[in-house]
Structure 1
């Protein structure tokens, strides 16, 4: 519990006495700037502004107990929990859309993504989009290798000695026919353009359906799909950016009150689309930070929502902590605090301390002082 002590500046102001008073002065207005969470400390001293430290009106002070606990320079920023890597799916080839998936449908490699002219369009894993028919007459290419990897993974190449190379061999045609039989479509041995969709993710979730049944297949997006993993995106303020470092650790507070740890996966500079081809932030190019989560379970339980991201900074535990307003700037450099010895302010003793971490208007100190000691602070 704090108590109030009133002290008055001495009436006798001889030069020797003034020099003695300058050895330590309680700074009534201590300006602490925590820049970027780094704990930088700046102190304004009255005598450096040419102000007299004598002849002032009585100044009221409080005393507070030296605490013991943890201190951290971490910062917080609002973010959004959502599914990763939204990707538009463009239907190629020709025909009419005859079946579309429901939103939130999960499709795995080899599964049916949608339907054209009554035939399934299948999801396969690959970074290169399909751009031609792949059959016995196809020339060598990386798209052939991509197809063969999928046929091997789906189990249609057993006993064929098929290798994931760039040649469309007779064994490749046999594997394609096996796959077509399993799908219930004509066994031609050729994969026609538009019958498969190659996406880098092996498993996707349907986020949005952008076409209608009966629509003709063209160059427009049919679906938007995402990864099944959730990530957090943040657009920090400019003065927070220095704390967001690649692979840096963060803690995410979820909407349901739970928490999950994560790491900073990427930082992307650029404006947001305002729907008219421009930048929604006036061209300032905000940075979007993507956070990969260490565990998906808690995030999926909470679901897509707004979250709070705490960037892990420097931290200490079991530290002696005082308000920054208790610190005294000493003429010879360094800092001190006044430890109250009772109701009489003249009994307070000056203790030189070493300054540690500074955050949230609190400072870690060490020296000839202990938890529970009463230190003087401006009222």
Structure 2
């Protein structure tokens, strides 16, 4: 507190009743109150308070917290599911009656039997083009012939025949078909009849659902729904989280039974779902997600996730990371009138306002730098 004494002149002499009053000098003290702390130098507000707020909160409404030093990460966690990838419907071609159907959960590899019609096996082969005609001697050239020859070679039925992968159904192709038919125990005609082969992109599939019944006739409805044998993680993040999910972005998936596995974001599809149904949430089909974006994550290690099986998971999307950072709660930050931020550092029984530079902000904590150090006590609201 500063006290200045200012000497002021007295009023002029006044005579009354012939009596002369003496001159007097009057001393008037003027008190100037000094500003407390640095708040007089910088106007400050709490970022969460109205900018026009002037009154200080009562002392009892505030507490203190120590400045920490450590790592800060802007990662987010989203709940999801673990399920089998790429559900695909299989429709039977031709005519006949279903005489054998697979069990749900069974795995069929390329060259294996998917189901049976009229006592004859229907075999899985690898390809993206469904068969639409019989393939045998005299058939015109086409990509379906090339696709068949590729499978016959992979399955070992063209060994020693000098078969080349092209669109021509040559004599060697018919020989390879007969070898394949012999391995199945069926009549060796050299012709692949329509309906005896199912072409799917996967080299192996898992039976997810059986839509037909034994004894029912072949029709247009799907006989099976199959999936890949690989498990993927699927999440449906909120709209304000979507910017964190980048194609090919790396994530960490925590399994329900414990342990983690690395993953990569493969696709983001709005309204996509399993079994071709819109909005059912991808593999596992949880339903009710017509307006959400489905994010599919491929996993690096299938051995660990197979032990877990279809289940719930937590997907951790790693963002920016600051190592060896000075960290305070965001509630400690004061927005300065001139721009930027500051914190009130406790010094004994007083506080001083320190301007700081703001770094990474995550999980209601902020990285700061400036004239502060680890262990300093800063003011926060209680």
What is the TM-score when the length of structure 2 is the normalising length? 0.84
1:289-310 CA-to-partner distances (Å, cap 9, x unmatched) read 1111111122111110121212
Residue 47 of structure 2 corresponds to residue 30 of structure 1 = yes
Once residues 80 and 295 of structure 1 are traced to their aligned partners in structure 2, the CA distance between those partners, rounded to angstroms, is 16
Asked if structure 1 preserves the Cα contact closer than 8 Å seen for 2:39 and 2:353, the reply is no
Paired residues, what number? 347
Once residues 321 and 289 of structure 2 are traced to their aligned partners in structure 1, the CA distance between those partners, rounded to angstroms, is 36
Once residues 156 and 104 of structure 2 are traced to their aligned partners in structure 1, the CA distance between those partners, rounded to angstroms, is 29
Quote how far apart the aligned CAs of 1:364 are. Answer: 0.7
Q: Specify every segment of 5 or more residues in structure 1 that has no aligned partner in the other structure, as ranges.
A: 1-11, 32-43
Asked if structure 2 preserves the Cα contact closer than 8 Å seen for 1:271 and 1:285, the reply is no
Instruction: For residue 162 of structure 1, give the secondary structure of its aligned residue in structure 2.
Output: coil
Q: Quote the residue 1:375 is aligned against.
A: 378
Asked if structure 1 preserves the Cα contact closer than 8 Å seen for 2:271 and 2:278, the reply is no
Q: Specify every segment of 5 or more residues in structure 2 that has no aligned partner in the other structure, as ranges.
A: 1-29, 281-286
1:132-178 CA-to-partner distances (Å, cap 9, x unmatched) read 00000211100000000000111111111111100000110011011
1:47-92 CA-to-partner distances (Å, cap 9, x unmatched) read x42x4347x7555421111112221112222211100001111111
Asked if structure 2 preserves the Cα contact closer than 8 Å seen for 1:24 and 1:328, the reply is no
Asked if structure 2 preserves the Cα contact closer than 8 Å seen for 1:101 and 1:114, the reply is yes
Asked if structure 1 preserves the Cα contact closer than 8 Å seen for 2:279 and 2:292, the reply is no
Question: After the TM superposition, which of the residue ranges 79-88 and 65-74 deviates more from structure 2?
Answer: 65-74
Asked if structure 2 preserves the Cα contact closer than 8 Å seen for 1:106 and 1:204, the reply is yes
Q: Quote the residue 1:359 is aligned against.
A: 362
Instruction: For residue 301 of structure 1, give the secondary structure of its aligned residue in structure 2.
Output: helix
Once residues 103 and 23 of structure 1 are traced to their aligned partners in structure 2, the CA distance between those partners, rounded to angstroms, is 75
Once residues 135 and 14 of structure 1 are traced to their aligned partners in structure 2, the CA distance between those partners, rounded to angstroms, is 108
Quote how far apart the aligned CAs of 1:189 are. Answer: 0.2
Residue 343 of structure 2 corresponds to residue 337 of structure 1 = yes
Asked if structure 1 preserves the Cα contact closer than 8 Å seen for 2:97 and 2:216, the reply is yes
Q: Quote the residue 2:54 is aligned against.
A: 52
Q: Quote the residue 1:146 is aligned against.
A: 147
Asked if structure 2 preserves the Cα contact closer than 8 Å seen for 1:251 and 1:311, the reply is yes
1:105-148 CA-to-partner distances (Å, cap 9, x unmatched) read 11111111111111111100000001100000211100000000
Q: Quote the residue 1:210 is aligned against.
A: 211
Once residues 253 and 78 of structure 1 are traced to their aligned partners in structure 2, the CA distance between those partners, rounded to angstroms, is 10
Asked if structure 2 preserves the Cα contact closer than 8 Å seen for 1:23 and 1:331, the reply is no
Structure number with bigger Rg: 2
Question: After the TM superposition, which of the residue ranges 135-144 and 327-336 deviates more from structure 2?
Answer: 327-336
Q: How does 1:76-155 map to 2 (within 5 A)?
A: 76-155=77-156
Supply the RMSD in Å over aligned alpha carbons. Answer: 2.7
Q: Quote the residue 2:13 is aligned against.
A: none
Asked if structure 1 preserves the Cα contact closer than 8 Å seen for 2:231 and 2:305, the reply is yes
Q: Quote the residue 2:259 is aligned against.
A: 258
Instruction: For residue 368 of structure 2, give the secondary structure of its aligned residue in structure 1.
Output: strand
Instruction: For residue 340 of structure 1, give the secondary structure of its aligned residue in structure 2.
Output: strand
Asked if structure 2 preserves the Cα contact closer than 8 Å seen for 1:23 and 1:330, the reply is no
Quote how far apart the aligned CAs of 1:279 are. Answer: 6.7
Once residues 94 and 168 of structure 1 are traced to their aligned partners in structure 2, the CA distance between those partners, rounded to angstroms, is 25
Asked if structure 2 preserves the Cα contact closer than 8 Å seen for 1:24 and 1:329, the reply is no
Once residues 129 and 313 of structure 2 are traced to their aligned partners in structure 1, the CA distance between those partners, rounded to angstroms, is 35
Residue 368 of structure 2 corresponds to residue 350 of structure 1 = no
Once residues 278 and 162 of structure 2 are traced to their aligned partners in structure 1, the CA distance between those partners, rounded to angstroms, is 53
1:223-282 CA-to-partner distances (Å, cap 9, x unmatched) read 11100000111111111111111111111121112211211101112266999x987899
Q: Quote the residue 1:316 is aligned against.
A: 322
Once residues 284 and 15 of structure 1 are traced to their aligned partners in structure 2, the CA distance between those partners, rounded to angstroms, is 66
What is the TM-score when the length of structure 1 is the normalising length? 0.84
